[in-house]
Structure 1
C-alpha cells in the first residue's frame, strides 16, 4: 500500500513540477561539468535531478565522515547556488501548500532543501531501507 501511494504521489509530482525541477538541475549539472573545476557540483546536480524526478519513497542521508574538500565545496555551493535553489524550493512550495491536495507536494519540495543547500557528502536512498542508527 505504501509503495502504491508513493508511485501515485510521484506521478502527480512529475505532472506538477517535478519534470521542470529535474531539468533545471540537469542544466545546472551540464554547466558545472563544462567548467571542469566544478565537476563535483555537476555530479551532485545530476544526483539531485534524479531525486527531483521521483522524491517519494526516497530520503537523503549523510554519507558519514566528510572530508575538508566536501566541507569547503558545500560552503562555496551555498554561497554561489545553494541559497538561491533553496529559496526557489520555498517559493514553489507555497502555492502547493495553498491547495489542500498539494500539501504532500509542498512537503516534498521542502524535503529537497537540505540536499540543495549542501549536496556534497549526501546520499539518496530508498526510505524503506533506511533505518537510522540508535544512539
Structure 2
C-alpha cells in the first residue's frame, strides 16, 4: 500500500471510519441470523473491510470488470439489491451520509466525506459490484480499451 493511502486509511479509521465498518458488520450478523440473508452477509463483510480501509481500493461493476455477466449482475442481482435495500441498504446509506456531512465541515475532512458518499451509493445497491485495488481497476480499464 502506498504511503499516502496508508496515511489516509489511518486518518479515516481515527475520524470514524471504524464505526461505519462496524455498521456493515452488524448488517452481516443480522443477515446471518435470518438464515435467508446468508448470501448478503458475505458481501456485507467484504464491504465492511472496504469501509474500514477504502483508500487504495475501489468498487467496480463485476460484469464490466470481469467482462461477463453472472448471477449477481442479471435479474437475480437486481432482485437481491431490492431485498438488500429494504433490509439494510437504506440505513447504512443514511449512516454514510451523516458521516459525510459531519466531515465535510472542514477542508481536511473533504476527502473522507467524498469516500462516505461513494460508500453511501454502494450501500444502496451493492450486489453485482466487486472491491478491487485501484491498480487492478486501472489495469483492467487499459486492457478493455477504456483508458
Q: TM-score, normalization: structure 2?
A: 0.84
Displacement of 1:44: 1.3
Task: Return the alpha-carbon distance in structure 2 between the equivalents of residues 22 and 92 of structure 1.
Answer: 12
- Structure 2 residue aligned with 1:118: 125
CA-to-aligned-CA distance 1:70-107 (integer Å, 9 cap, x gap) = 11010121233212221221111011011111111111
Q: Count the aligned residue pairs.
A: 134
CA contact (8 A) 2:100 2:116 kept: yes
Q: After TM superposition, where is structure 1 displaced by more than 2 Å over at least 4 residues in a row?
A: 131-135
- Structure 2 residue aligned with 1:134: 145
Alignment RMSD:
1.5
Moved more, 84-93 or 51-60: 84-93
* Structure 2 unmatched ranges of 5 or more: 64-68
Matches within 5 A, 1:1-135: 3-64=2-63, 65=69, 66-131=73-138, 132=141, 133-134=144-145
Task: Return the alpha-carbon distance in structure 1 between the equivalents of residues 103 and 74 of structure 2.
Answer: 37
Task: Return the alpha-carbon distance in structure 2 between the equivalents of residues 105 and 57 of structure 1.
Answer: 13
Task: Return the alpha-carbon distance in structure 1 between the equivalents of residues 99 and 111 of structure 2.
Answer: 13
CA contact (8 A) 2:58 2:133 kept: yes
Task: Return the alpha-carbon distance in structure 1 between the equivalents of residues 127 and 107 of structure 2.
Answer: 34
Q: TM-score, normalization: structure 1?
A: 0.91
In structure 1, the residue corresponding to 2:59 is in which secondary structure? strand
* Structure 1 unmatched ranges of 5 or more: none
